[in-house]
Structure 1
């Protein structure tokens, strides 16, 4: 059992980050919102309604997920970006989404551009390239709810910064749930919830959680990540 007596309220139009050790239940929350599985007891509600009362396909039309291992399909890059978006999308919108995801330049540099075949599960592309195509797909879909599960983890630090900027622009005014190991990527979220063994142990903004000092759970996580860079030689 992952959650017992667990409750979290994610504000509409705001960004909520979920942080904590591996196995604390972060990705489980993403799975419950997407309805990949249902809780044995209790309910997941969107706009006050149990999500089991929504038609599944209609529910997912309003949700975009970018995960650590993005799902690409055998087909062209264009088809993969357009997957899940409405039918009446034109070329300029595809290109704008790719630019926003920092993907346009590498796509334009490929021999066949947007008509490049991705291969089964995107085998022809690097991890960072696949991730940016998945992010472009999410941007094009323009969802009400954006779920980011380690969305920038496969990128090098330079690409991560550009994609992070694109994601932060995309999160404005949108209900966003962000799972991240690299805490530097979630500092600007409206709310940060710290999970430990299926429970929320702290909740607040980056600055308010850091203000708790060394006894705080979030402070400890941040300190752990900063330590290698700040090691001093005495």
Structure 2
């Protein structure tokens, strides 16, 4: 376990709740500067660990479990225990850059991958025969997903509030967001990066909505 993994997990937890690092500290009842970059190193330049007390307060304030936080530290994005898909023999699935995904000819009307322009990657044993992978590009999903991370997406996995999803709009835009609410009329999406705006779309604006079930980090 490395210092940067702990701090990245804290940044990720903050982003998942629509907060900055300072906002997360305030929610946990800590000084707003507790998680600032300047507090992540000692005066002599050595890396500093966050205190166990501050971590405990963060978990309590966000409702996160220790197991869930540990998963963020390790970068795991496996399905939950007793999850929603049954493991099968490992296979290879189509892989596409996220920025390419808004182009034509990569998905059919149901949102399933088609065509010959995809690369391939080994699938970490996820049952959905229509699963595909997207490579993150840019900073719009930081700190949850970083440039070069690969996410595996399942078109058939059930989706609930709080899940990270890939959304395609009728205008051809493809984005990665966190689902905060879905009604009979609208889909509300939270940006993973607080620097980017949240989105609220009328249901007819959404072509498809797929759940991210795993990510390499």
**TM-score over 0.5 (shorter chain):** no
TM-score, length basis structure 2: 0.28
Higher relative contact order (CA 8 A, sep 6+): 1
TM-score, length basis structure 1: 0.27
